[in-house]
Amino acid sequence: MGLGKYIKVAFLNRWNLLAFAGGMAAAGISGPGFLVVAPLVLAAEVAYLGLLGTHPKFQKYVDRILSAGDHQEKSEASQQTLKEILRSLPGAALSRFEKLRAQCLDLRQIAADLAQSRENVGAPLESMQLASFDKLLWMFLRLLFTEYSLTKFLERTNPKPIQAEIELVQQRLKKAESDQTAHGEKMRRALQDNLQTSQDRLANYQKAKANHELVQLELDRLENKIKSLAELSVNRQEPDFISAQVDAVAGSMLETEKTMNELQFVTGLAPQDEAVPDLVQNPQVMILR
């Protein structure tokens, strides 16, 4: 939107609307003076909008307000997604997540105790670091849901009947090749379309199976990384270092994120662009279950 969004906010300010409406009303009741007063009111309004809409402090204020509203919207979306995931996951998956979350929380307490014994100010797993671990736990939870969704898809899709259908259609297509009539051509087109559909179904199943194996491996890798970073944070009183390590892990998961986005037709999860919910200090699993 550029400059337009600042001018829009400036114009919709209630005091501006009141003054502008009042000025135009005065012009309306001025009778013959309308052609003089109305242009003056419009000129004053344009000058006001141009001055305020281009002012750096006003633009920063608008950006801050819009950003807060966008963050609130994303936060509500993430909370809704979190509830849906926790209500859908089976007990074993929830237990795996809760165990990992609890370990992070326990190690945080150990780190806090060590910090107090060393007379340091604050605990190493506070603020920025807690947000970093929330980010990884959120990714882990979404991976768990992706793995669960793929498992259901694979359980409900049997590749053997699909392969049998492909072989049957190929045989019928081979027999239909000898019929060079118009009817035979229609038969071949129908069979070829059916063959392509079955092959697409089989390819989709095979891709889902490969992605399922990848997600399982990534779950194990991410779980181990989170444990390692949580343990490391106990001994290294360097929030910036831990945060950098978390960012490195998150960066290494970009390809997995892309895969999860491609599997939206199975999981129903939107791309991970919403705000990350609080997970380390919030026992959401116990509350929602």
Q: pLDDT (tens digit, 9 = 90+) per residue, 153-191?
A: 898 889 999 999 999 999 998 888 887 888 888 888 898
Q: Cα separation of 202 and 208, whole Å?
A: 10
Q: Rounded to whole angstroms, how far apart are CA atoms 101 and 103? A: 5
Distances (CA, A) of 118 to 121, 135, 232, 243: 9, 28, 17, 22
- Is residue 53 pLDDT above 50, yes or no? yes
pLDDT confidence tier of residue 3, bands split at 50, 70 and 90: confident
The pLDDT confidence band at residue 124, using thresholds 50, 70 and 90, is very low
Q: What is the DSSP letter of 31?
A: G
Q: 51 is written with which tokens? A: 């001055």
Distance, CA of 108 to CA of 237 (rounded, Å): 12
Alpha carbon distance 143, 141 (integer Å): 5
Query: Can you give the pLDDT at residue 163?
Result: 93
The amino acid present at 116, given as its one-letter code, is Q
Q: What is the pTM of this model?
A: 0.61
Q: Which helix (H) or strand (E) holds 127?
A: none
Angle, vertex CA 68, rays to CA 63 and CA 74, nearest 5: 125
The reported pLDDT for the residue numbered 164 is 94
pLDDT at 162: 92
The encoded tokens of residue 9 equal 């906010």
Q: How many CB atoms lie within 10 A of CB 103?
A: 15
Distance separating alpha carbons of residues 268 and 275, to the nearest angstrom: 17
Q: Which helix (H) or strand (E) holds 112?
A: helix 91-117
Confidence of residue 80 (pLDDT cuts 50, 70, 90): confident
The rounded distance, in Å, linking the Cα atoms of 169 and 175 is: 10
Residue 212 has pLDDT above 60, yes or no: yes
